[in-house]
Amino acid sequence: MTLLTDYLIVLALTYAAMLVVYFATGFALMAINARHPERRIQKHRDGLKRQAEEIKASLKALATSSILLSAGFFAQLQGWTLVAPLELSWWSFPLMFAVCFVLFDAWFYWGHRILHLPSLYKFHVPHHRSIAPTAWSNDSSTVVDTLIEHFFYFLVWFVLPVPALSVFALRLFDQISGMVGHSGFEYFASKSSRFPSPLICTTFHDLHHSQFHYNYGNFFSFWDRICGTVHPKYDDLVQRMEETGEVPDTEDTKVKATG
Query: pLDDT 10s digit of each residue in the chain, 259 long?
Result: 699 999 999 999 999 999 999 999 999 999 999 999 999 998 888 778 889 999 999 999 999 999 999 999 999 999 999 999 999 999 999 999 999 999 999 999 999 999 999 999 999 999 999 999 999 999 999 999 999 999 999 999 999 999 999 999 999 999 999 999 999 999 988 899 899 899 999 999 999 999 888 999 999 999 999 999 999 999 999 998 887 877 776 665 554 444 4
| Beta-bridge mates of residue 122 | none
Please give the pLDDT value at position 257.
43
Of 207, 193, 60, the C-alpha closest to 133 is 207
Please give the pLDDT value at position 35.
95
Q: Side chain identity at 83, as an amino acid letter? A: V
Phi, psi of 118 (to 5 degrees): -55, -35
| Beta-bridge mates of residue 185 | 40
Using CA atoms, how far residue 19 sits from 16, 55, 61, 207, 258, in Å, is 5, 11, 11, 27, 37
Q: Taking a C-beta distance cutoff of 8 angstroms, is the pair 250, 203 a contact?
A: yes
The domain locations on the chain are 2-253
Separation CA 205–CA 218 (nearest Å): 8
